Structures are given as structure tokens and as C-alpha cells.
Amino acid sequence: MASDNLAVIILAAGLGTRMRSDLPKVMHPVGGRPMIAHLMDTVASLNPQRVVVVVGPGMEAVEQAVAPAVTVVQAQRLGTGHAVMQAREALAGFGGDILVLYGDTPLLTAETLARMLAERRAAQDPAVVVLGFKPADPGHYGRLVVGAEGLKAIVEFKDASEDQRRIPLCNSGVMALDGRRLWGLAERIGNDNAKGEYYLTDLVALARGAGAACSFVLGDEEELLGVNSRAELAAAERVLQGRLRRAAMAGGATLIDPEAVWLSWDTKLGRDVVVWPQVIFYPGVRVGDGVTIKGFCHFEGCSIADGAEVGPFARLRPGAEIGVKVHIGNFVEVKKATVEEGAKVNHLAYIGDARVGAGSNVGAGTITCNYDGFTKSFTDIGAGAFIGSNSSLVAPVKVGDGAVVGAGSVVTKDVSANALAVARGSQMEVGGWADRFRTAKTAEKAAKKGS
Ligand code: UD1
Ligand code: CA
């Protein structure tokens, strides 16, 4: 149900110059998806009536990532106050509460935003609520000037006095505003300051000057981490990984060394899953209950059903569906293929565009030859089949239920159910040949020495 008294403005027009990237800053991923997508999810959980994202010119990628949220383009980057003004038209007629967020704080939680809104709706009816925090290094953050009657002003670092720079309480950038009073105040923001920008932070002093109350809520430094550089991106990744690992463990998975397991925002691990170190879950992975994953595996866009055993050194690519109690062993790659219940693919194999029927055994070194340089073709292995080691199955090809393929075969034709197919050079034998060969060579050598 949409909350008819909440709108959200997300500022994302910044160039992110310090990222040194062709990608808009908010499109850089943490936990396997763009920063802005994390924020959009957090915002969605508050059920806002409207969401407006302020982007820069040419940021179509961001517009697509946030759809169906409304985007407005800030043609010139004249400051955070100017950026918020760009959303005015899109929010015309809206008189509820407005949250302003910065697109580069992906770790922000819904709980913190809910605290902001609760404060905004408190008895003193503040026009502006600011999310403050006390970072270990206050650096160049804006500082909150607080008096007996609450928040008085925010001073930007560049404009702050020596005394103000010693204030430990900083501005995170997140604000909760009264939509009925915002625009009247915001249009009075000027740019007569050290940066020559329209500072959104001036709202506080303007509101106070107009006789309105302002207040702040205290937040956690880790959660408010803003990403301006690649190093900060890595720091955000670390925090997010910590959250994902704790959630996986709380859900009943054992991570033997949590720091050595990398998860994505959408990784789903069942109960009694055991994950050994050095396993990477790229996006789109679902793991059932009681699955054991040994070390050094890479998974992406795949599912692993209950009781399966995977790894070490397995790679499951998009479309791999590993069935109940299946065994996938070392140096096995599976792509867009279903491996049905109880089947075993234990060593050095490539299974792509294929089905491996229930209970089948695929020998070491088996390759499904699925690609001829132009098209991908399907290999269908029936239930209970046995594929001998080092076989090549040249798709499109079908191996029937219960069939046996002899080791080293290059299978180019369908194999009937329960048949034996052997497709390799047949073995011949010449009795005593090796002995005669050695005797002749030894004599040759002795003759050469004597001459
Ligand atoms: C801002 C705050 C500062 C706070 C800090 C927290 C102001 C004036 N200062 O400073 O008090 O401590 O964040 O990180 O608000 N943006 C636009 N259009 C613009 C300018 C900015 O969309 O014209 C967006 C950026 O993309 C970014 C956000 O607004 O997402 C913040 O802008 P940024 O330039 O990073 O502000 P700071 O200098 O960090
Ligand atoms: Ca910033």
C-alpha cells in the first residue's frame, strides 16, 4: 500500500569525477548490483507515493535502472539545493513529507529512514530533520551547529570557521522535509558561498529564520558511508558483504570462513548449507537445503537443489540447474543445463545446453560440443545413462535412457535406450612386435659404435 504522505527525492546528477569512470557513479555495483538499485529497494520498502530521481544529462543508464521512478534532468550541476529544486514540478501538489537522499549512499537502511520520518512527525513539527553522524574522521563533511533549541544551521566545511570545523557532528546529506514548507524555503537558497553553489544545507538556517523548528537524528557511520572513489566503493562492498554473510548465517547456513565467501544481494542459501572458503556467488543464485559446497567455486544465475554436493573448483554458469542430491565435482563447468536428481558429473567436464537425466554418470573429461561457431545445439542424456570418460557428445545429439557410451567416444549420432555406443578407433594388436623392435634398434646402435 502506498504511503500517501511520503515522497522521496534522490540526488544522482553528480559526475563522480573521483571515480575516474565512464559509468555514472551510482551505477557502480556493490554486492552485484548498482548502488542506486540498493537505494531504490530501501526506498520502495517505505511505500512512498512518489519517487523522483535527479540525474545529469546523458545518464540514460540511471534512468533505466530506476524506472518506473520519475527522473528529472539537472542540466547544470549548480549544487544540491539547485538539484532538489529540479524535482519541484514532479512533486507539484504534494504536501506530505519528503525524504531527500544522495544516490551514493547505498548502505542506508529503511529503519534509519523510518526514524527520520518519525522525528519529522514529532510534536514540535520540524520543517527540516537532518541525519547527522559522528565519523571517526569528520574530514570535509558539513557540520551541524546545534543550540539549546535544537539544530540551528549546517555549515559546509569550506565555509566553516576554525571553531565550527572542530564540531564532531556531521551532515550525512539525508533530510526529511515538510513538503508544505520546502519549496518556499528552497527558492530562497542563494549561492554566495565558498563553492558558489546552491547548498541544500542552507535550508536549516532559512527554516529557523522563518520561525520553524529543525532537528536531527543520529545515524551510524558505517551505514552512511558515501562512495566518491574506488577505495570508498571497496569499503562499501566490505560493509555490505558483512551484512550478507551475517544474514546467510542467521538463515541457517554455515560459512566456515565468512570473510572468504562472497555473496550477492540476492543470494539465497537454504538451511544446513555448508560453504567452504573461496566461494563466489555472483547474482541470481539459489541454493536449497542441506547442500555442501566445497572450496573455490564460482556460481552465477543458477540453482542447486537440496542435498547436492558441489565442488571443489566447480563453475556453474547461468541456467545451470543442479538437481536434488546431484554431485558436481572438480573442474566441472555447467551452463544452461539441467542435471537431474542423483546424477554425477564428478571430474573435468563441460556440460552446456544439455540435460543429464536422473541417476546418470558422466565420466571424467566428457564434453558436450554445443557450439559450431554459429549455433548452439542441445545434448540430451537420458536417465540412468553412463558416459565413459573422455567422450565428446557432438550436439544436437541424444543418448537414450540407460545407454552406455564407451570411453573416448566421439558421439555424433543418437544412441538408443539401453544400447552400447562406441565411437573411436578400434584397438589392434601385433604379437611380439615390441620385443622385435627393441632387438633391431639395439643391434643398429652397436653397429654404428663399432664402425
Ligand atoms: C554534501 C553536503 C555536506 C555533507 C555531504 C555528505 C551540501 C551542500 N553538502 O557535500 O554537508 O556532509 O554531502 O556526504 O549538500 N548532486 C546533484 N546535483 C548537484 C550537486 C550534487 O545531483 O548539483 C548530488 C550528487 O550526485 C551526490 C549528492 O548530490 O549524490 C551530494 O553531492 P556532493 O557534491 O557529493 O556533496 P558533498 O560535497 O559531498
Ligand atoms: Ca559526496
- What is the band of 408 on the pLDDT scale with cuts at 50, 70, 90? very high
**What pLDDT, in 10s, does the model give residues 135-145?**
999 999 999 99
Average pLDDT over every residue of 436-447? 97
Q: Residue whose CA is closest, atom 1 of ligand 1?
A: 173
Instruction: Output the ligand 1 site: residues, CB below 6 A.
Output: 11-14, 54, 74, 77-80, 82-83, 102-104, 141-142, 154, 156, 170-173, 199-201, 226
For 6-218, CATH gives 3.90.550.10
Phi, psi dihedral angles at 204 (to 5 degrees): -60, -55
Contacts of 163 (CB under 8 A, 6+ apart): none
Give CA–CA dist 302/286, Å, rounded.
7
Mutate to test the pocket of ligand 1, among 102, 199, 200 (most ligand atoms within 8 A of CB): 102
118, HSE (Cβ side, Cα atoms, 13 Å): 8
Pull the grid cell for residue 301.
544465475
Contacts 24+ apart (CB under 8 A), 286-292: 288/324
Q: Residue whose CA is closest, atom 19 of ligand 1?
A: 79
How many angstroms is it from 225 CA to the middle of ligand 2?
9
Catalytic pick among 38, 140, 298, 347:
347
Give CA–CA dist 241/94, Å, rounded.
38
> For residue 450, what pLDDT is reported?
83
6-218 and 250-421 agree in CATH topology: no
347 is catalytic: yes
**What pLDDT, in 10s, does the model give residues 40-67?**
999 999 999 999 999 999 999 999 999 9
What's the chain's Rg over C-alpha atoms? 32
> For residue 149, what pLDDT is reported?
87
**What pLDDT, in 10s, does the model give residues 353-395?**
999 999 999 999 999 999 999 999 999 999 999 999 999 999 9
Helices (H), 122-175: 162-165
**What pLDDT, in 10s, does the model give residues 189-236?**
999 999 999 999 999 999 999 999 999 999 999 999 999 999 999 999
Phi-psi region of 32 (alpha: psi -120 to 50; beta: other; left: phi over 0): left
For 250-421, CATH gives 2.160.10.10
Q: Residue holding cell 513529507?
A: 97
Q: Residue holding cell 524506472?
A: 67
How many angstroms is it from 322 CA to the middle of ligand 2?
44
Domain boundaries, the chain: 6-218, 250-421
Amino acid (one-letter) located at 120: R
> For residue 15, what pLDDT is reported?
81
- What is the band of 288 on the pLDDT scale with cuts at 50, 70, 90? very high
Phi, psi dihedral angles at 248 (to 5 degrees): -60, -45
The closest of 365, 402, 369 to 386, measured between CA atoms, is: 402
**What pLDDT, in 10s, does the model give residues 117-135?**
999 999 999 999 999 999 9
Average pLDDT over every residue of 288-300? 98
**What pLDDT, in 10s, does the model give residues 82-103?**
999 999 999 999 999 999 999 9
- Mean confidence (pLDDT) of the chain: 96
- Environment of ion ligand 2 (residues, CB < 5 A): 226
> For residue 2, what pLDDT is reported?
55
Average pLDDT over every residue of 303-328? 98
- pLDDT score of 160 more than 70: yes
> For residue 1, what pLDDT is reported?
45
Q: With residue 100 as reference, give the H or E element that holds it.
A: strand 97-102
**What pLDDT, in 10s, does the model give residues 105-114?**
999 999 999 9
Q: Residue whose CA is closest, atom 25 of ligand 1?
A: 14
- pLDDT score of 17 more than 70: yes
State the angle between helix axes of 110-120 and 35-44 in degrees (0 to 180), rounded to the nearest 10.
50
Give CA–CA dist 401/382, Å, rounded.
4
DSSP 449: H
> For residue 301, what pLDDT is reported?
98
> For residue 79, what pLDDT is reported?
95
